[in-house]
Structure 1
Amino acid sequence: MGKVLIAGAGPTGLTLALWLTAQGIPVRIIDEHGGPGTESRAMVVHARTLELYRQLGLAEGVVAAGHAATRMQFWAEGKPRAALSFGDAGAASTPYPFVLVFPQDRHERLLVQRLDELGVTVERDTALTGFTDTGNHVIAQLRKADGSEESVTTPYLVGCDGARSVVRHRLGTDFEGSTYAHLFYVADVEAKLPGPPGEAQFALDHGDFVAVFPYDDRGLVRLIGTVRDERAGRADSLRFDDIHQDAIRSLGISVSTVNWFSTYHVHHRISSRFRVGRCFLAGDAAHVHSPAGGQGMNTGIADAANLAWKLAAVLHGQAGAGILDSYEAERRAFARQLVDTTDRVFTFITKGGGFAEFVKAHVAPTLLSAASHSDHVRAFMFRLVSQIMVGYQDSPLSQGKVGQVAGGDRLPWVQADGMDNFAPADAIGWQLHVYGNVATDVTAYCSSRGIAVRTFPWTAAHERAGLERDALYLLRPDTYVGLATKDATADTLARYLAALAG
């Protein structure tokens, strides 16, 4: 079979390696750096990511290591203007009804540890210097720390190597978009904060922006904000004391220690292709966008899960190579929408001028305050931010609709009579869910194909979730619905899967 070569050992590459390994696909993961990053801007792990991690047996460890924030406080002109509480808003939608604050550097170390436990070691100080796609495989050139070079043959190459991706540059795909004019900073500090422990804070003051993320109970905090005026032109020499701290002081934050501080520019770009032949792009190599909503790292992790099961299906001979085209079709469409949306939000947040300041100080807080008092609006906002609304209804892999659930939808989460329909199956793979009764020919067919059949006694909770009694919901390995049908026969399943086998 050969090992899938993954270039880049950030969260996207590590998750891809974990998902492939869990499905019996050998991998080789390299990274040009000597170790995991020590400074990180990505802070938030959303509910959908935790659901994907749950299939790897990782979710509970990540939650235990992180800091759950169920409330977000918004400030303007030195006053708390609005608060959004997500705990109850997401309780009916996911096992993880919160925003988890878990810095990327800690996150990466946990993923590396789990990969080590599975017998896969990240090859550090190893750079991808070139590659050739022959049509039947990829031949890649690697340069190691000692300067020696190695030629590697791999069935597939996946570039998870960040915004300056070597893989993307070598493929020659466009990276459409631009760079924001503002300079941003990130600082790891020890501080005393206003409000309840673990509450995330966001402030807007005269064009300044700062986000505050407590990430443990000892007063450790990450600050992310803007550097304005002439100081933005000397990024290399800036220190924390040099930045304009009106927004920080307006929150009543008292910083006692600065552990580290760095500056960076933010881009919003998307690659014109996510797949070229046997080469793929995922995570920041494929798309970068503003930090609005904390979507970047989570989107890369979802890329990895989406691509991993499709590569596994092809390499195990369970699907034709054509299924790999659906990776770009599904993930690029979402990334395009995300880049556009976060760009609009971030442009508004960082915009200066009298009218913009008035809107941020008065209009936006009023709308947020109104939203915080509406259960429906809060629930919608949580589903939107947490990526549990992401779906692939237009994908060539999505078929049918029964009740309110269609092919391409994320399966609705239901916990009823002590049964959690998101509880992981014994192995990552296709699953058939039936809420009610299932015919014996269907179970026999699924058994012959290695598809787990999971039946749940019909309840009113399933009906409220939009599921239909006795219907067949065939779930892809990433737990999105592939096929939803009332025609509950083995022949229906066979026709769908035969089309995938191509």
Structure 2
Amino acid sequence: MNRSDVLIIGAGPTGLVLALWLSKLGVRARIIDKTSAPGTTSRALAVQARTLELYRQLDLSETIVRNGHRVAATNFWVNGKPLAQLPLKRIGEGLTPYAFVEIFPQDEHERLLIERLEDYGITVERDTTLEIFEESSDGLTAHLRLPNGEQEICQACYLAGCDGARSVVRKSLDTGFPGGTYQQVFYVADVKASGPAMNGELHLDLDEADFLAVFPLAGAGHARLIGTVRDERADRAETLQFSDVSRRAIEHLKVHIEDVHWFSTYRVHHRVAEHFRSGRAFLLGDAAHVHSPAGGQGMNTGIGDAINLAWKLAAVLSGGAEASLLDSYETERIAFARRLVSTTDKVFSFVTAEGRLADLLRMRVAPFLIPKMASFEASREFLFRTVSQVTLNYRGMPLSAGAAGHVHGGDRLPWAHEGEGDNYEPLRQPCWQVHVYGDTSDEMIAWCAEHHLPLHVFDWRPAFETAGLARNGFYLLRPDTYVAIAENSADPKVVERYFHDHGIRPYFNCT
């Protein structure tokens, strides 16, 4: 009987990233998908800065940046004219190594992840579906339907449902998926076109006409259109062709279509599962939460789910932590998913609302306010921090403790760059580690050496103070680079007590 440590259902970005991180950490992962081949079309485009930071652990970031497209600005159009612009070139400067908006379409993204996974000897098993699974005290038994129609019974220690909004895993767990569906029908099309909106920047129509956004893709004249389908056409969305789409917004943005590579329609949902875990089964990505495309958050949030769960599963499976560590996955990720759905719902509702008041706000008020807000560095920084997910934190949660400088337990470690190096270089290794900015005690040095816990001591520099880091304290960092402890002292007993209280054994640390 085939046995794996973790059986992953679904080979979208979430499932592939989970398989990659587990493989990196020495866990035997098996990944299946019901489709016969990777997707050639997709809606997800943006790879946020926080995702790129985490992708350094698998040397993915540079490849994505090299092959993707940086968006220089967002332009807001009213009555056929660009009335406001939000510059994006340096919007997150000083906050992250990836202080820009990166476009890298999901289909290309998946192909890259699949290639890297094959380097670990893992191949996605296609045309394979999960039928049922049963849990026992020491694992799971799953019944799979293979491409030839035969059934296979396999075993795993844990199961990860990364199988999308119609998740078989979620339905098998009988977990509720409360929320709703927006009334609008949307279309998405990859096109070759010309016109002023094909300048490599993002363009958004704010008119009372059909909503339309033009997202730039790599290559001159290539873009993705995302727009609404209104009136009686929405009732026959499943049979619509691009020729049926209203031209009002397209003409307002002066987009001259030369070729349509692909076209599809869809409805947008906003839902969060009642639970992200039941026993040995977990829900991730769209199986756990779906939300509007506002801000390009969906795929990145699923990837965050995968990385959060991967190191915890690896620790438990290796004997480096008690099984209770897995309880923190739902606690940390469900809170973020609920906040995200609420936030994107408000933005999405504003952009797509109909009626005289909504038109007034979009066409008169927004074009006036956007340039004013864009002129303030604080406004631009707030926008970038929110959209890029660098403000995502686990403050006040069970694995987070203390505060030092402006940094709290549960925060993303602030990035500090000065000269040639930065404090993120050690984070390429997905392991527990201690950072000290300034000086530390001999006791801390000795304790970390004895317990094989990497200790990185950085000579104090002004850049660290600017980033909000405390001098001569320490930060215990989790394998996913979030701060576990922020502490002003140099006492290793604080670290020892943390590991003891959470059932974590640092000598199983990944090296």
In 2, Cα distance between equivalents of 1:268 and 1:276 = 22
How is 1:276-291 mapped onto 2 (pairs within 5 angstroms)? 276-291=278-293
Candidates 374, 391, 394, aligned match of 2:393: 391
SS in 2 for 1:326: helix
Name 1:350's counterpart in structure 2.
352
| Superposition map of 1:40-439 within 5 A | 40-194=42-196, 197-425=199-427, 427-439=429-441
Q: Percent identity?
A: 53
> Are the counterparts in 2 of residues 207 and 351 from structure 1 also a CA contact under 8 Å?
no
Cα displacement string for residues 269-304 of structure 1 (whole angstroms, at most 9, x for unaligned residues) = 110000101100000000000111111001000011
Aligned partner of residue 139 in structure 1, secondary structure: strand
| Cα-Cα RMSD | 1.4
Greater mean alpha carbon deviation, residues 81-90 or residues 465-474: 81-90
Question: Are residues 146 and 287 of structure 1, via their aligned partners in 2, closer, same or farther at CA, if it must alter by over 3 Å?
Answer: same
Does structure 1 retain, via aligned residues, the 8 Å contact 2:197–2:253?
no
> What letter matches 2:151 in structure 1?
E
Whether contact under 8 Å (1:81, 1:365) holds in the other structure is yes
Gaps of at least 5 residues in structure 2 are: 505-511
How far apart, in 2, do the equivalents of 1:398 and 1:495 lie?
13
Are residues 394 and 84 of structure 1, via their aligned partners in 2, closer, same or farther at CA, if it must alter by over 3 Å?
A: same
Separation of aligned partners in 2, 1:76 and 1:426:
45
* Number of corresponding residues: 502
Q: Is the contact made by 1:197 and 1:217 (CA closer than 8 Å) also made in structure 2?
A: no
Compared with structure 1, are the counterparts of its residues 111 and 127 closer, same or farther at alpha carbon in structure 2 (3 Å cutoff)?
same
Contact 2:209 2:248 in 1 (8 A): no
Equivalent residues of 1:207, 1:357 under 8 A apart = no
Which residue identity is paired with 2:85? A
Q: Do 2:92 and 2:100's aligned partners in 1 also have CA atoms closer than 8 Å? A: yes
Is the contact made by 1:282 and 1:300 (CA closer than 8 Å) also made in structure 2? Answer: yes
Which residues in structure 2 correspond to 1:21-32 (within 5 Å)?
A: 21-32=23-34
Classify the secondary structure of the residue corresponding to 1:382. Answer: helix
SS of the residue 2:475 aligns to = strand
User: Which stretch shows the higher mean deviation, 367-376 or 284-293?
Assistant: 367-376
Bigger Cα displacement from structure 2, 464-473 vs 162-171: 464-473
The aligned amino acid for 1:284 is D
Task: List per-residue Cα deviations over 1:205-235 (Å, max 9, x = no partner).
Answer: 2152111111112322111110011111111
Deviates more, 1:35-44 or 1:436-445: 436-445
How far apart, CA to CA, are the structure 2 residues paired with 1:422 and 1:245?
Answer: 47
- Decide which of 468, 481, 487 is 1:466's aligned counterpart: 468
Tell me, in whole angstroms, the C-alpha distance in 2 between the residues paired with 1:84 and 1:191.
23
Runs of at least 5 residues in structure 1 that lack an aligned partner in the other structure: none
Contact 2:191 2:262 in 1 (8 A): yes
- What per-residue deviation string (whole Å, max 9, x for no partner) do you get for residues 326-349 of structure 1? 111110000001111111111111
* Preserved CA contact (<8 Å) 1:135 1:278: no
For the Cα contact (< 8 Å) 1:184–1:225, is it kept in 2? yes
What letter matches 2:284 in structure 1? A
Equivalent-residue separation in structure 1 for 2:116 and 2:452 (angstroms): 26
Which residue of 1 is the match for residue 507 of structure 2?
A: none
Q: Is the 8 A contact 1:425 1:452 kept in 2?
A: no
Is the CA contact 2:198–2:223 (under 8 Å) kept in the aligned structure 1? no
CA contact (8 A) 2:285 2:302 kept: yes
8 Å contact 2:73–2:88 — kept in the other structure? yes
Q: Which amino acid counterpart does residue 404 of structure 1 have in structure 2?
A: H
2:134 and 2:141 in contact (8 A); partners too: yes
Match of 2:498 in 1: 496
Question: Which amino acid in 1 is paired with 2:256?
Answer: S
| Paired residues of 2:87 and 2:374 also in contact (CA < 8 A) | yes
Q: Give distance in 1, aligned partners of 2:156 and 2:465.
A: 47
Contact preservation (8 Å) 1:436, 1:458: yes
Alpha-carbon distance in structure 2 between the residues aligned to 1:105 and 1:269: 24
Give the conservation status (yes or no) of the 8 Å contact 2:434–2:456. Answer: yes
Give the TM-score, by structure 2 length: 0.96
**Tell me, what secondary structure is at the counterpart of 2:300?**
helix
- In the alignment, the residues of structure 2 paired with residue 248 and residue 215 of structure 1 have an alpha-carbon distance, to the nearest angstrom, of 17
Cα deviation digits, residues 221-279 of structure 1 (max 9, x gap): 11111001111111122111111121121111111000110101111011000010110
2:509 is matched with none
After TM superposition, the score normalised by the length of structure 1 is: 0.98
Give the distance between the partners of 2:264 and 2:198, measured in 1 at CA.
27
Residues 107-132 of structure 1 show CA distances to partners (whole Å, capped at 9, x for unaligned) of 10111011111211111111011101
> Mean Cα displacement is larger for which, 421-430 or 43-52?
421-430
Conserved? CA contact 1:86–1:379, under 8 Å: no
Q: CA separation in 2, counterparts of 1:453 and 1:77?
A: 58
How has the CA–CA distance of structure 1 residues 440 and 26 changed in structure 2, closer, same or farther, with 3 Å as cutoff?
A: farther
State the Cα deviation string for residues 139-171 of structure 1 (Å, max 9, x = none).
111111101111111111000000000000000
- Cα distance, 1:421–1:362 mapped onto 2, change above 3 Å: same
**Counterparts of 1:417 and 1:43 in 2: how far apart (Å)?**
32
Q: What is the CA–CA distance in structure 2 between the aligned matches of 1:457 and 1:102, rounded to whole Å?
A: 37
Deviation (angstroms), 1:196? 7.5
